[in-house]
Structure 1
Amino acid sequence: MKYCIIVPDGMADYKLEKLGGRTPLEVARTPNLDNIAFNGLLGLVNTIPKGLAPGSDIAGLSVLGYNPEVYYTGRAPLEAASLGIKLGKEDWAVRCNLITINNEILEDFSAGHISDKEAELIISILNERLGNNNINFYAGKSYRNIMIYKGNTRIEADCTPPHDIIGKSIKNNLPKGRGSEILIDLMENSYHILVNHDINKVRIDLGENPANMIWLWGQGQRPSLIPFKVLYGVSGAVITGVDLLKGMATYLA
């Protein structure tokens, strides 16, 4: 028997005033979903273990049958795998968002969903100016990129996802804890490099949000995941446009 698991991640969305306090999904015409619900079995499942932050990374592992409390080491190592980055045992992968700040307020966690081409150029600039034997930046897709740290400090800082602090002060939400000084230094230096760069001058002229700073978060080390076929005795495939799930599938292959 074959199974197909469809995960409409984030489809629930938020209630909107212009929709009468309903979500886009509540007002959408969904005959196929309605048919599945009417003729199938409905239930609830908790994919986020108590004490872990809700997110696609943790929930994705749960859906695939891997206990996040055992296997989860961070979002960035999974995304790094999707880019073909091989992590050493002591390496740290860190998610590197290209963001927009204005007067120290985080305005946009995606820098206007910057294009892949522009993002790749910015990452190249950051590598030239901030990269060294211990620090390397890798271009991903759009604002979603990766930084790899190979130094001796453990990057165990408490980091806040940028999409959680839209409209808030970055100073009040900077990384805290072990290794935070490394992340903060890179973030602050990135602003000085990018704020007046020609790429951002053009974006501003076009009415687009500039990618004038990086935000580092979601760090972790290489996970030890048992291949899916070894664990469950069946093979499978993942079809996704998201680096996170692609990387997860890479580790499970």
Structure 2
Amino acid sequence: MKSVVILADGMADRPCEELGGITPLAYARTPFMDELASTGLVGEALHVPPGMPPGSDVANLSVLGYDPRRYYTGRAPLEAASQGIELAPDDLALRCNLVTLSPAADYTERVMVDYSAGEIATEVAVKLVAQLQERLGTSSLRFFPGVSYRHLLVWRAGPAPERLELTPPHDITGQRIGSFLPRGEGAELLLDLMRRGAELLAASDSAANAIWFWGAGRRPQLPAFRERFGLEGAVVAAVDLIKGIGKLAGMRVPLVPGATGNTHTDYCSKARVALRNLEEVDFVFLHIEAPDEAGHQGDVQAKVQAIEAIDRLVLGEMLPVLRSRYPSWRLLLLPDHPTPVALRTHTADPVPFLVAGNPPLPGSGRGSAFTEAEAAESGFRWYEGHHLLPWFLGREAELA
């Protein structure tokens, strides 16, 4: 049995006035998704446990079968794992975004204009992070470059993350930053770095004129995916967060040419890399960031286009191969969390999923389309989303 999970990050949404009162998923032309929904199973899953932040870190751990309440230690340590950054038990890793703030003499009066600094090019961002390290780094504070606007700060022997209050920048687009600056133990040092970073970046010829810290955490420990499910697996992704989860779980994490982590990614390249890895392993997790990025930008048309591209370029590439090459296969398609374009940030609502394959699962063939409404009406829901993958893989014993 070959098993594929396609994770369309942030694809779920709420009804949009611009689309006639339906969601981008319902509005988009998705013939492959709808065909799979009509012949397979459709349902809902809740991947953000009550009381936990509705981030891709928490939700993707759940999608991969790891209970976030047990294994989640913060976002930045997962990204550090992707970059091969070794963390000591008392090190604190923090996400460091390159962002765009509005001009104002009083730093606290500035407004979060863009959490991604215009989706800054990686080659430009790497040079800026090198300057930050040269001017602001110390023996206990080190900046590490990542992809586009996504970078890291590692604080050796830093404070406990639960004693720090940090706000994701994509949650405060268009708002004054004064009410969302770091609070708690270590906040004074971080705020000083942010102020000095803004002074340094003010001279750069780019949209990145400030840094923003969030997603703090300690080194995580995940049991190997193979030990949990008896399968060799691969993770195909562009962003360090997902690649880090894959590496910590002992899975293959291949390089993907043309994968960007934004709406301009090479969808076909991702599909082809997933298919190549499926020849050698029995489980592939394919992550696509584009719908989430469109949601954060508040761009409903870009979100529709991203969903249609996943249908046409990913499912259109993969389904013929799955059907012709493998007598037994299963496919699970779902988002991790909603990223409503009206809110421009994540919510903790349940998300729709569809399961199809050969041989069909019992109860298949009752749906008509893949939408949030169809999934909600199905009555098939996993209230603890980390149980969905064991069920999908036929490892019901893992539910105990």
TM-score where L is the length of structure 1: 0.92
User: Which residues in structure 2 correspond to 1:76-225 (within 5 Å)?
Assistant: 76-102=76-102, 103=104, 104-155=110-161, 156-195=163-202, 197=203, 199-200=204-205, 203=206, 210-225=207-222
Partner of 2:346: none
Separation in 2, partners of 1:22, 1:152 = 46
- Tell me if 1:246 matches 2:248: no
- Give the drift of 1:100: 0.5
Mark the CA change 1:42 to 1:24 in structure 2 (over 3 Å): closer, same or farther.
closer
User: Which residues in structure 2 correspond to 1:34-53 (within 5 Å)?
Assistant: 34-53=34-53
Q: Deviations over 1:191-223 (max 9, x none)?
A: 11111x1x33xx3xxxxxx20100000010100
Q: Which 5+ residue runs of structure 2 have no aligned equivalent?
A: 105-109, 251-400
Of all paired residues, the percent bearing the same amino acid is 47
Larger Rg: 2
Instruction: Give the match's secondary structure for 1:76.
Output: helix
- Tell me if 1:23 matches 2:23: yes
- Give the drift of 1:190: 0.5
Give the partner amino acid of 1:126: L
Q: Deviations over 1:31-82 (max 9, x none)?
A: 0000011000111111111110111111111111111111100000001111
Give the partner amino acid of 1:151: A
Deviates more, 1:160-169 or 1:14-23: 14-23
Separation in 2, partners of 1:236, 1:74 = 23
- 1:154·1:179 contact (CA, 8 Å) conserved in 2? no
Separation in 2, partners of 1:47, 1:230 = 22
Separation in 1, partners of 2:159, 2:30 = 51
Mark the CA change 1:151 to 1:90 in structure 2 (over 3 Å): closer, same or farther.
closer
Instruction: Give the match's secondary structure for 1:166.
Output: coil
- 2:92·2:158 contact (CA, 8 Å) conserved in 1? no
Mark the CA change 1:14 to 1:115 in structure 2 (over 3 Å): closer, same or farther.
farther
Separation in 2, partners of 1:151, 1:41 = 48
- Give the drift of 1:30: 0.4
Q: Which 5+ residue runs of structure 1 have no aligned equivalent?
A: 204-209
Q: Deviations over 1:164-198 (max 9, x none)?
A: 00011111111211222222111111111111x1x
Greater fraction strand: 2
- Give the drift of 1:16: 4.3
- Give the drift of 1:241: 1.4
User: Which residues in structure 2 correspond to 1:59-78 (within 5 Å)?
Assistant: 59-78=59-78
Runs of 4+ in 1 over 6 A off after TM superposition: none
Partner of 1:55: 55
Separation in 1, partners of 2:179, 2:247 = 36
- Give the drift of 1:240: 1.1
Aligned length: 243
- 2:92·2:159 contact (CA, 8 Å) conserved in 1? no
Give the partner amino acid of 2:135: R
- 1:134·1:149 contact (CA, 8 Å) conserved in 2? yes
Instruction: Give the match's secondary structure for 1:112.
Output: coil
Give the partner amino acid of 1:214: I
- Give the drift of 1:152: 4.8
- Tell me if 1:5 matches 2:5: yes
Separation in 1, partners of 2:25, 2:159 = 45
- Give the drift of 1:20: 2.9
- Give the drift of 1:14: 5.7
- 1:116·1:142 contact (CA, 8 Å) conserved in 2? yes
Q: Deviations over 1:62-121 (max 9, x none)?
A: 111111111100000001111111111111110000001013111000000111011001
Give the partner amino acid of 1:181: E
Separation in 2, partners of 1:240, 1:171 = 34
Instruction: Give the match's secondary structure for 1:192.
Output: helix
